[in-house]
Every structure is written in C-alpha cells, then in structure tokens.
Structure 1
Amino acid sequence: MPAYVVMIREETSDPDEMARYREAAPRAREGHDVSPVAFYGAQDVLEGPDFEGAAILAFPDMNAARAWYHSPAYQRARRHRQAGSETRVFIIDGV
C-alpha cells in the first residue's frame, strides 16, 4: 500500500538555512523510490490555521518512506530545515 510523507511548513525563521535545505533535500531522494505529488504550490486553506507551504511525497509503502526519512542523506538535509523553519512532518498510509 502506498505511503505519503507530508511536510507542512508553518513558518520560515532562517532563509539561509532553508536555502541549504533546498540544495540538500533533492540529493537525499536519490536511490529512493519516491515521487513528488505536491510541492509548495498554490493552496487554499479551508479549515485551520494558515501555513506557508506543503509538500507531499509518495513512496511504495511505510517502510520505504521511513527508510528515506531516516537515511543519512536526509538527516543531514533535515538539520537545515529544522534550523530554518517550523515544520510538521508525518507519514500516512495511502489506500
């Protein structure tokens, strides 16, 4: 069953750190079976608080999503995202 990593960026606190993240994150996807579904496009918040942007990445299953997230390459990139923004990240099973 597919799984999706959802990242909701609430607020950017350090644009320089986010620039470093944008450089490192695509390289962290190399070697993983991942497909971008949505990437910080236009949004229309219907309920709840507004946010800066969101990304959704599709993986074959939860194990593949976890393997990408916990990979050394993504963990290096993740440090920049965490230093530069307030972001919620979760994995959800697809149907």
Structure 2
Amino acid sequence: MVAYVIFIREKKLNPEKLAEYKQGVGSTFKNHPTKLLAANGPFEVLEGDPVDDVLILEFPSYEAASNWYHSPEYQEASKTRLEGAAFQVYITEGLGAK
C-alpha cells in the first residue's frame, strides 16, 4: 500500500539555507523510489493557520517512506531544511485499491 510524506512549510527562516537544502535533497532519493505529487504550486488554506508551501511525496509503502526519511543521507540533508524554514512533516499510509 502506498504512503505519502507531506511537508508543510510554516515559515521561511533563512532562504539561503532553504535553497541549499533544495539543491542537495535530490540525491537522497537515489535508493528510495518516490514520486513527487505536489510542490511549489498554487494552494489554498481552507482551514487552519496560513502556511508558506505544501509538498507531497508518494512512496511504494509506509516502510519505504519511513526508510527514506530516517536514512542517514536524508537526515544529513534535513539539517539545512531545519535551518531554512519551520515545517510540519507527516507520513501517512494511503488507501489500498478496491
């Protein structure tokens, strides 16, 4: 069953660090099959506090999503993300085909 990693950027803190993260994060997917479903496009907050951006990644399974997020490569790359902006990040399992 597929799983999704959802990044909600609440507030930019350091645009240079965020740009550094964006340049380096791609290599963390090398051994982790994923599909980028939404990023940097228009969105509307229908309920809740305003946010800067939303990004959604699809992985083949919850385990695959967790393995990528907790991988040493991503954890190293995420250091610049955390310096660049405040985020909420979630992993959620998708619905199976009926």
SS of corresponding position for 1:78: helix
Does 2:45 match 1:45?
yes
5+ residue gaps in structure 2?
Answer: none
5+ residue gaps in structure 1?
Answer: none
Give CA deviations for 1:50-71 in whole Å, capped at 9, x if unaligned: 1000100000111000110011
Instruction: Give, as a single letter, the amino acid of the residue that structure 2 aligns with 1:10.
Output: E
SS of corresponding position for 2:64: helix
Give CA deviations for 1:74-93 in whole Å, capped at 9, x if unaligned: 11110000111100001011
CA RMSD of aligned residues (A): 0.7
Instruction: Give, as a single letter, the amino acid of the residue that structure 2 aligns with 1:83.
Output: E
Instruction: Give, as a single letter, the amino acid of the residue that structure 2 aligns with 1:20.
Output: E
Instruction: Provide TM-score, normalisation by structure 1.
Output: 0.96
Tell me the equivalent position of 1:64.
Answer: 64
Instruction: Give, as a single letter, the amino acid of the residue that structure 2 aligns with 1:59.
Output: F
Tell me the equivalent position of 1:91.
Answer: 91
1:29 to partner: Cα distance: 1.1
Map 1:12-31 to 2 at 5 A: 12-31=12-31
Does 2:81 match 1:81?
yes
Aligned pair count reads: 95
Q: How far, CA to CA, are the matches of 1:72 and 1:40 in structure 2?
A: 26
Tell me the equivalent position of 1:54.
Answer: 54
